[in-house]
Amino acid sequence: MNIILGVIVVLACVLGGFMAHGGKVLALFQPYEILIICGAALGAMIIANPLSVSIGVIKSSGDLLTPLKYNKTAYLNLLNLMYDLLNKSRREGLMAMEADIDDPAASPIFSQYPAILKNHHAIEFICDYLRIMISGSMATHELEALIDQELEAHHQESALIPNAISKAADGLPGFGIVAAVLGIVITMGKLGGPPDELGRSVAAALVGTLLGILFAYGFIGPFSSYLEHKNRDEARYYECIKACFIASMNGMPPQLAVEFGRKVLFHSVRPSFSELEEQYRGKK
């Protein structure tokens, strides 16, 4: 929703200000200028990145229309799931968790949280480290180091697409100048012609510079920042899982281990202690 709202605000202010000074919106519609700018930026991005990243950039356009999914409700569900898993492992032993992690969809615990089951990466992350904990052959600091390595790799991988979009945004003003220069070249070939035709040709060339800057700072750059925020929220989700596991391996009871996970969350999405306490009472 905020993406659509932001686009409306940008267009309304830019076009509204232009029209308030007597400008005609149709004068800004220069499809060949758009083709030059956007086509050149796309080509440069393809040159600069592996094909998988370029394809990922195209696929990420769908993420711009989806809301941030790691909200307070999502974290409340996650913390409850972690409590249930750690509580079972404490009461029945880690070996009792094997059936749950072998088939999460059929697990009585995981099946209570269908939204988390749909997050295949998170389920795989939880199950992988539960398996390691069951093996019992890794010290707490070794497990923490392993999780940190995986999260660092995940962070670097998730940053590839926003970085590619950001660099494309940085190049758009330059390609706007390219389009403007090409327009001036065409205009120079019309010297001696009717003044109004020359004026339209120069105006079309200048629109190229305008569009390059507007696309860069009004749309593509902010799109990159939005994806960075989504990646940051996803990383925090895994940090919460990590904190719960490490606290549990350090001997903390389930309710206190989950509190460690709760404390790593940002205040805007962090469930309160009383909200979790109410959930725990409902399970007893």
Per-residue H/E/C for 218-236: HHHHHHHHHHHHHHHHHHH
pLDDT band at 96 (very low <50, low <70, confident <90, very high): confident
- To which residue do tokens 């995986």 refer? 150
Query: Is 263:243 a contact under the CB 8 Å cutoff?
Result: yes
Share of the chain above pLDDT 90, in %: 53
Query: Distance (Å, rounded) from C-alpha 201 to C-alpha 132?
Result: 68
pLDDT for position 258? 92
Structural Rg of the chain based on CA atoms: 26
pLDDT for position 144? 92
| Residue 211: its H or E element | helix 195-214
Averaged over 153-176, what is the pLDDT?
Answer: 93
Query: Is 118:81 a contact under the CB 8 Å cutoff?
Result: no
Residue 48 pLDDT > 60: yes
- To which residue do tokens 């686009």 refer? 7
- Tell me the CA distances in angstroms from 258 to 79, 186, 253, 265, one per residue in order: 6, 67, 9, 12
pTM of the model: 0.84
pLDDT band at 165 (very low <50, low <70, confident <90, very high): very high
pLDDT for position 153? 94
- Tell me the CA distances in angstroms from 192 to 113, 196, 197, 199, 205, one per residue in order: 74, 11, 10, 12, 18
Query: Distance (Å, rounded) from C-alpha 147 to C-alpha 149?
Result: 5
Residue 65 pLDDT > 80: no
pLDDT for position 93? 83
Query: Distance (Å, rounded) from C-alpha 253 to C-alpha 28?
Result: 64
Query: Distance (Å, rounded) from C-alpha 203 to C-alpha 198?
Result: 9
**Tens-place pLDDT, residues 67-85:** 778 899 999 999 999 999 9
Residue 1 pLDDT > 80: no
Averaged over 279-284, what is the pLDDT?
Answer: 66
Query: Is 249:140 a contact under the CB 8 Å cutoff?
Result: yes
DSSP state of 216: I
- The angle subtended at Cα 47 by Cα 44 and Cα 53, nearest 5°, is 100
pLDDT for position 284? 57
Query: Is 117:105 a contact under the CB 8 Å cutoff?
Result: yes
Averaged over 174-194, what is the pLDDT?
Answer: 85
Averaged over 267-277, what is the pLDDT?
Answer: 87
Residue 189 vs residue 86, higher pLDDT = 86
pLDDT band at 262 (very low <50, low <70, confident <90, very high): very high
pLDDT band at 282 (very low <50, low <70, confident <90, very high): low
